[in-house]
């Protein structure tokens, strides 16, 4: 009997792969540097060239050729005729002997990156699973066990996870950071002379405080919830270096020096340029940084400077994109001006003013609101009962629109200082990803050791994320890390048992153009 092989569906996945498993797309780099995209036939047990789709040395053209090649495979799979006797019975037998299916896309790509970084030095399968599935399914540990069982046939209990977290914190945390730093050094050419530091807060869904979890100023507006303070140190391009956690009521400015000192000592670094935003600016921090011979670039609070310095700043009359240096004792203050920033500053001031005016009309403002915080600085008290807008203060503040300052002792040019500070957004991105994509908070753990282990797992997951991002950029791919992770969650593997000899055949299901693009990008 002769019949065409038709696609069937198993767990939502078409199965024309039974033919395609004998053919695949190959990218062959020629001596000239041109890449040929070919269809290779391995049905005879030997690799034979079936068809050349095209050649190019331009990456996006190569990617398009790969897509065309996969479309060609799909076309011929639908038309391929194979001689079968009792075809219905054969197909039915195949279906009946599918013994398992599981999600493998995560391990194929993220697991590969995990190993390339060097985290496979930690010989714990659970460690790898907890890290990778933090990127895919960042939920509670109970929900993680359910997900791993449902999609990967891995049977962990909650107790298994908690026992491992205790081990991670007590025995493996230091190794985790060493691996991360060593890998960062390798991709930066051993150059970690410039570091970026910032802090954030991470809250808990509890009411009671303890020695670590305390209420304090929350960057997330959760002032009623106990929290911890998380300090993070990253390199250029945002690669994570080290971290530490502090009591929730600790002033963020007091967290910087312990982390930087520990990092410099542990890795025997001769010199560091420390970059941080104005939230870390204090006279004490500056004095300590200078005393320990650190170079630094900090965001300046230019409105809080002396009258002499402020008069100099306002007299500069800078235009869009211009900058000037003002000497201050043995330090430099660099002032920049941006039209875009000026528009934003003006808009924010006007919005703040409207809110104040609205609150005054409703009678919700009293003399207790008169302070120098935020836009309340535009208020003044007339007599003992009347609160009104201080229009003169509002107009005076407009002179600062578009101005931003940086205070430094670094032996760098003005342009180098500004360029380095511009990289600070990477650490802001790190916190955003940790809180949104990796869902580092809220934290439900109670024990200090498990809180620290949770932070450690998130730190490793972010490292894998950054390496995925770097590799995509290096491969000149337009795909985002988030999109790749989404695609990976649709790549499954099935196992088919031969009913005659009980031999098990495994096949990864790659069907869509997105699947084949991933296969090509990561040489799967």
410: in domain: no
Q: Would residue 311 count as lying in a domain?
A: no
- Report CA torsion sign: 245, 119, 184, 424: negative
> Which of 383, 400, 417 is where one domain is finished?
400
Q: Residue 1 — pLDDT band, cuts 50, 70, 90?
A: very low
- 499 domain residue, yes or no: yes
Residues facing residue 52 across a β-bridge = 38
> Is 348 among the domain residues?
yes
Establish if 222 belongs to a structural domain. no
56, with CB counted inside 10 A (0-12, 13-18, 19+), is: middle
Which pLDDT score, from 0 to 100, does residue 16 have?
Answer: 42
Greatest extent of the chain over all pairs of C-alpha atoms, in Å:
102
> What is the number of structural domains in the chain?
2
User: Is residue 515 in some structural domain?
Assistant: yes
Task: Out of 221-235, 260-274, 356-370, 410-424, give the one with best mean pLDDT.
Answer: 410-424
Q: Is the peptide bond before 158 cis (omega within 30 degrees of 0)?
A: no
Domain range for 391 is 342-400
Domain assignment present for 256:
no
Is 442 or 365 the better-scoring residue by pLDDT?
442
Q: Where does a domain end: 371, 400, 429?
A: 400
Q: 176 vs 87, 135, 421, 457, CA distance in Å?
A: 54, 17, 28, 9
pLDDT tens readout for residues 17-36: 444 446 788 899 888 889 99
Q: Kindly report, residue by residue over 213-240, the tens digit of the pLDDT.
A: 677 666 666 667 778 888 888 888 888 8
pLDDT surpassing 80 at residue 8: no
Last residue of a domain, one of 369, 400, 431: 400
- What is the structure's pLDDT at 219? 61
Hey, which residues does 245 pair with through a beta bridge?
230
Residues 247-265 have pLDDT tens digits of 777 777 778 888 888 888 8
């Amino acid at each position: 009997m002769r019949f065409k092989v038709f696609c069937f569906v198993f767990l939502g996945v078409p199965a024309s792969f039974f033919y395609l498993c004998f053919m695949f797309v190959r990218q062959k780099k020629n001596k000239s540097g041109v890449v040929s995209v070919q269809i290779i036939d391995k049905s005879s047990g030997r690799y034979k060239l079936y068809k050349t789709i095209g050649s190019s040395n331009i990456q996006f053209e190569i990617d398009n050729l790969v897509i065309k090649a996969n479309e060609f495979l799909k076309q011929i799979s639908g038309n391929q005729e194979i001689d079968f006797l009792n075809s219905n019975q054969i197909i039915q037998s195949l279906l009946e002997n599918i013994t398992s299916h599981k999600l493998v896309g995560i391990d194929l790509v993220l697991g590969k990156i995990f190993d390339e970084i060097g985290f496979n030095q930690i010989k714990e399968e659970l460690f790898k699973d907890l890290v990778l599935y933090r990127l895919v399914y960042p939920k509670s540990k109970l929900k993680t066990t359910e997900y791993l069982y449902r999609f990967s046939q891995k049977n962990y209990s909650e107790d298994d996870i908690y026992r491992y977290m205790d081990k991670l914190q007590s025995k493996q945390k230091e190794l985790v950071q060493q691996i991360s730093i060593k890998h960062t050094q390798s991709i930066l050419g051993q150059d970690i002379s410039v570091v970026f530091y910032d802090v954030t807060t991470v809250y808990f869904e509890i009411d009671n405080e303890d020695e670590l979890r305390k209420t304090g100023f929350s960057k997330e507006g959760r002032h009623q919830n106990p929290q911890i303070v998380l300090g993070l140190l990253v390199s250029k391009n945002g690669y994570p270096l080290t971290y530490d956690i502090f009591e929730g009521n600790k002033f963020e400015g007091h967290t910087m020096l312990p982390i930087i000192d520990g990092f410099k000592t542990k890795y025997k670094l001769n010199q560091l340029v420390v970059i941080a935003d104005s939230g870390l600016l204090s006279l004490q921090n500056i004095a300590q940084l200078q005393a320990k011979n650190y170079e630094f670039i900090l965001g300046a609070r230019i409105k809080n400077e002396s009258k002499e310095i402020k008069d100099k700043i306002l007299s500069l009359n800078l235009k869009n994109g211009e900058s000037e240096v003002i000497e201050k004792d043995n330090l430099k203050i660099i002032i920049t001006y941006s039209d875009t920033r000026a528009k934003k500053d003006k808009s924010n001031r006007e919005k703040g003013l409207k809110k104040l005016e609205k609150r005054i009309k409703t009678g919700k403002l009293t003399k207790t609101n008169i302070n120098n915080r935020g836009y309340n600085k535009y208020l003044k008290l007339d007599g003992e009962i009347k609160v009104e807008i201080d229009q003169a203060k509002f107009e005076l503040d407009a002179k600062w629109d578009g101005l931003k300052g940086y205070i430094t002792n670094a032996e760098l040019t003005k342009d180098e200082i500004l360029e380095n500070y511009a990289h600070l957004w990477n650490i802001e991105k790190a916190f955003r990803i940790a809180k949104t994509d990796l869902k580092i908070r809220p934290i439900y753990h109670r024990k200090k050791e498990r809180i620290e282990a949770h932070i450690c797992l998130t730190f490793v997951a972010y490292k894998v994320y950054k390496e995925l991002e770097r590799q995509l950029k290096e491969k000149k791919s337009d795909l985002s890390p988030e999109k790749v992770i989404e695609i990976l969650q649709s790549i499954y593997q099935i196992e088919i048992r031969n009913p005659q000899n009980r031999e098990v055949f495994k096949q990864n299901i790659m069907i869509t153009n997105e699947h084949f693009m991933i296969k090509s990008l990561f040489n799967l």
